[in-house]
Amino acid sequence: MAKKARVIFHIDMNSFYASVEMTYNPKLKGKPIAIAGNPEERKGIIVTSSYEARAKGVKTTMSLWEAKKLCPELIVIRPNFPRYRDMSSKIFKMLAEITPMIEPVSIDEGYLDVTDHSAHPLELAKEIQKDLLNQLEIPCSIGIGPNKFLAKTASDMKKPLGITVLRIRDLPDKLWPLPIGKMYGIGEKTAEKLHKVNIKTIGSLAKADVYTVTQLLGINGERLINRANGIDPRVVDPDSINEFKSIGNSQTLPYDTTDEREIRYVLLQLATRVEERLKRRELKGKTVQLMIRYANRKTITRSRKLSIYIDDVEEIVTIIYDLLKEHWTLEPIRLLGITVQDLLEKQYVVKQLSLFTYEEEMRKTNMKKTIEELKKKFGKDTFVSLKKPEEENKNKLLRTSFQKDFLDDYRTKK
């Protein structure tokens, strides 16, 4: 008996942040709105915008002043990430009722394997789209294909509220005529490299010589040729969100600064959030990385690999301060980031304690245990130190990283 062909959905929320804002404030519906970070404190950058704003030329990553020049009536809203995260959980909870074979890949998109679902794929897609719109007021586009690549490609073909089917037999007419830069997985630099060897359409990549493209792009070259031919063996993996390679946070400062006290404070805040996320996942890491983006947008990353696994804010921030001291050029800083890499679950971490470190480790462990017990008894803010007003304001800075570690909230959220 022939193997049943897979049926994969890629579900992509349309203008997600803007759509969420409209559900909280219906007066915004039908108006040109944009989500932009800290517009009052620096020249804001557009994070996303409604389709009414896009019709006027407003685009993601465009500067706020440029967007307002194109669309003077643009309504600008600060991002509310907790609100978006909460809506994302509701969406994936609904999708999980369709099938357990669901793989969230970001806050507003995910894959579903509906191969074994009893409903016809097209009717099922219409039902999902309708339910999300009626129950949560969130529009989405759905791509249907025999694998992840074709489903993802299909979902981008019609927005908003599109449903597109892309099968292998459709490739010559629907996919191959498109410019190579339109192919998912190919960025501007890769497209430029392919143009140099006269590969200008997805079809020309599909027919290209594997050796030539591999020489040009490395191992990714063969993978891209396969995908251009509709070949993608990746499965929908519900547990992929637990496979972390790194956990990090970055933060754009309200203004470019050379004030070391402020810089160290932001780094401490970032390290604290990274610690929280590591402990939530019961992970430890061996490499600590510092990212600095200067006022001129030049970005550097510097890291240190350790001999032991760590997850403690004190250990993380000590290394980060050392990296700052070693590598900061004293130029004004625009953005800072901290990432812990080479992760391993705590249960697999075996820490070799020498006779000289054992006593100190026990003291730290006992102290942390006592603190955690007191927090449970008196509340998590028991040990929050008093902050100056300007320090309180810093907590409101735009946090620019959205990692995967919240994407299984839908499994437990009521």
Alpha carbon distance 161, 14 (integer Å):
7
CA atoms within 13 A on the CB side of 278: 30
CA distance 328 to 334: 12
203, 66 Cβ separation under 8 angstroms: no
8 A C-beta contact, residue 156 and residue 13: no
361 tagged catalytic: no
Q: What is the rounded CA–CA span in Å between residue 321 and residue 263?
A: 10
In the β-sheet with 283-294, what is the strand arrangement from edge to edge? Answer: 246-257, 333-345, 283-294, 299-310
**Alpha-carbon separation of residue 184 from 60, 109, 235, 402 (angstroms):** 17, 14, 17, 20
DSSP bridge pairs for 219: none
Q: If you search the block for the tokens 């579903």, which residue do you land on?
A: 112
Name residues whose C-beta falls within 8 Å of residue 124's C-beta, 6 or more positions apart in sequence. 9, 98, 114, 117
User: Out of 21, 103, 109, 315, which one is annotated catalytic?
Assistant: 109
Phi, psi for residue 137 in degrees, rounded to 5:
60, 30
* Cβ-based burial of 226 (10 A; exposed 0-12, middle 13-18, buried ≥19): middle
Three-state DSSP at 24 gives helix
Q: How many degrees, rounded to 5, is the angle at CA 319 between CA 82 and CA 278?
A: 35
> Nearest CA to 141 among 37, 331, 303, 9?
9
The answer to whether 102 and 236 are in contact (CB under 8 A) is yes
Main-chain phi, psi angles of 169, to 5 degrees: -70, -15
Residue with tokens 């062909």: 5
Query: Is residue 108 marked as binding?
Result: yes
Token code pair at residue 102: 């669901």
Is 322 assigned a ligand-binding role in the annotation?
Answer: no
Report the relative pairing of strands 75-77 and 33-36 from DSSP bridges.
Answer: parallel
Task: Give the annotated binding-site residues for Mg(2+).
Answer: 12, 108
Q: Which residues are catalytic?
A: 109
